[in-house]
Amino acid sequence: MTWRWVIFFSLAAAAWCATVSGKVEVTDSKAAGNREKDDSGVVVWLEALAGAPPVTAGGQATMAHKNKTFVPHVIAVRTGSKVRFPNLDPFFHNAFSNYDGQVFDIGLHPPGSAREVTFRRPGVVRLFCNIHPTMSAIIMVLDTPYFAVTNAQGAYAITMVPPGDYRLKLFHERALAGVLTALERTITTGPDDLALPTISVSEAGYLVPPHTNKYGKDYPAIVVDQYPGPGRRQ
């Protein structure tokens, strides 16, 4: 097959695919009174009801250390994808996860450097920094190419979805597992774009789980950043 036919079939396949879009509204948030309304960070994905997920090359994503936070706070990637962790702060950081999902540890991470981790195991990766106890983030590793993460307004758009029947699933770090399971639904896509009704995700009953450092111990009471020199206190 010539490259012209490859382009033709690729464009034809793209024409048959749809965008599935909608809005997620986070409700019952304990933090709602203290901050602007923020419906970001909810992962929405589609799993085909028939057949195996299509084989696609692993993607690339970035999660930076910046101002003592992981930016962005939530990302979703396909299994086999590489996530790059650049340290944009003038002091050391770390990223590790020893909970569910893929276990990893990028070690002591100097300012201006970047580390990469390939995520091969599907699941929720809850990651932390071994130096700064307030830092946390989520990497959702999915065995499907059809996913999106909501923006601050709760909007999502899953592109290039072939016609078929799918199970729509959600993940939100401050929602109980039973709440998320109850929100699952089956959808059918055709050649036209599909706009779904708003989905409300309740944070009721959620308690922030405490976490330890990577050694399973409590964090030190005072964090001493190790750059640009010893003794710098935050």
Residue 23 binding Cu ion, by CB under 5 A: no
Helices (H) and strands (E) in the chain, counts: 2, 20
Distance in angstroms between the alpha carbons of the first and the last residue of the chain:
61
> Distance between alpha carbon 181 and the CA centroid of its chain, in Å?
18
Binding range to Cu ion, per CB under 5 A, among 55-63, 103-111, 134-142, 196-204: 134-142
Establish how many alpha carbons lie within 13 A of residue 27's alpha carbon, considering only the half-sphere containing its beta carbon.
10
Name which of 54 and 110 has its Cβ closer to Cu ion.
110
Shortest separation between residue 135's beta carbon and Cu ion, angstroms: 5
Shortest separation between residue 93's beta carbon and Cu ion, angstroms: 4
Q: How far apart are CA 166 and CA 169, in angstroms?
A: 9
What 3 state SS string does 66-81 have? ECCEEECCEEEEECCE
> Distance between alpha carbon 146 and the CA centroid of its chain, in Å?
13
Question: Within 81-100, which residues bind Cu ion (CB under 5 A)?
Answer: 93
Shortest separation between residue 155's beta carbon and Cu ion, angstroms: 30
Question: Within 199-228, which residues bind Cu ion (CB under 5 A)?
Answer: none
Q: What angle do CA 12, 18, 21 make, to 5 degrees?
A: 160
Binding range to Cu ion, per CB under 5 A, among 25-33, 48-56, 130-138, 189-197: 130-138
Name which of 74 and 95 has its Cβ closer to Cu ion.
95
Q: How far apart are CA 194 and CA 19, in angstroms?
A: 6
Residue 131 binding Cu ion, by CB under 5 A: yes
Name which of 93 and 169 has its Cβ closer to Cu ion.
93
Question: Within 135-194, which residues bind Cu ion (CB under 5 A)?
Answer: 135
Q: How far apart are CA 167 and CA 77, in angstroms?
A: 18
With CB atoms as reference, the residue minimizing the distance to Cu ion is 129
Among 129, 138, 140, 158, binds Cu ion (CB under 5 A): 129
Name which of 79 and 130 has its Cβ closer to Cu ion.
130
Residue entry with tokens 């950081």:
93
Name which of 39 and 89 has its Cβ closer to Cu ion.
89
Rg (CA), the chain: 20
Name which of 206 and 227 has its Cβ closer to Cu ion.
227
Shortest separation between residue 173's beta carbon and Cu ion, angstroms: 19
Binding range to Cu ion, per CB under 5 A, among 17-25, 26-34, 40-48, 125-133: 125-133
Q: Do 87 and 93 touch, CB atoms closer than 8 A?
A: yes
Q: Write out the residues near Cu ion by the rule CB under 5 A.
A: 93, 129, 131-132, 135
